[in-house]
Amino acid sequence: MSRKPVVSAVNGITQGGGLMIAMLSDVAVASDRATFRAPELLRGIPDTHYGQILPRQIGPARARDLLLTGRVLTAHEAEQWGLISRVVAHDDLLNAANEILAACCRTGPNARAMFKMDLDRFYGRFNRLGMEANRWSEESAEGFAAFTARRPPSWIPDDLLPEDGGRL
């Protein structure tokens, strides 16, 4: 946990670790052009950190939707869902992030640190062991191979393949 305020300026495609950074920032402001996605399950990777954080951030139903479908959210949808705090015009992103950071820095440092510590406890611990156990599985290896080859993974039945035959 950082005692200092953490403000993310989100610009563009936000997936994987970038999505986690945006969610766990104290304030995340996004360009109206940004998109958000959690594609790990499409690659056979059970990122248990998402399983811990997302339901607390956006609720269980939306967490299931985002994780199990791998759908892409617009910046406005991400704001409505509670993934991020604010959406601004693309050209205003850095100014808005700097203004937010300045506002955060006006709060009492010790009070802010105590508040942030309570938020960290709210998110809880995640199952790192379960994620590590699956890291080298056949499913994860196939997911990675499919991603790098720009093809769908072999576990998808033919009748459910993307219409364009490309990767997910």
For 165, other C-beta atoms within 10 Å of its C-beta total 8
Residues 54 and 118 in one domain: yes
pLDDT at 127: 56
What was the pLDDT predicted at 80? 97
What does the pLDDT read at residue 144? 78
User: What is the C-alpha to C-alpha distance for residues 103 and 6, in angstroms, rounded to an integer?
Assistant: 12
Same domain, 39 and 20: yes
Are residues 124 and 143 part of one domain? no
By the 8 A CB rule, do 151 and 142 touch? no
Could you tell me if residue 1 is inside a domain? no
Q: Using alpha carbons, select from 36, 39, 7, 38 the residue that is nearest to residue 153.
A: 39
Residues 88 and 24 in one domain: yes
Tens place of pLDDT per residue across the chain (168 aa): 678 899 999 999 999 889 999 998 999 999 999 999 999 888 888 777 888 889 999 999 999 999 999 999 999 999 999 999 999 999 999 999 999 999 999 999 999 988 888 887 777 665 555 656 666 778 778 887 888 888 888 887 888 887 776 666
What's the order of all strands across the beta sheet hosting 73-74?
Answer: 13-15, 35-37, 73-74
Domain that holds residue 147: 137-168
pLDDT score recorded for residue 50? 82
Is 97 a member of any domain? yes
Q: Are residues 160 and 93 in the same domain?
A: no
Length of the chain measured in residues: 168
Please tell me whether residues 80 and 113 are part of one structural domain. yes
Q: Kindly report the CATH number assigned to the domain that includes residue 86.
A: 3.90.226.10
Q: In the prediction, which pLDDT does 88 show? A: 98
- For residue 23, is it left (φ>0), alpha (ψ between -120 and 50) or beta? alpha
Q: Are 168 and 131 within one domain?
A: no
Give the model's pLDDT for residue 168.
63
Q: Count up the domains in the chain and report the number.
A: 2
Residue 40 shares a structural domain with residue 79: yes
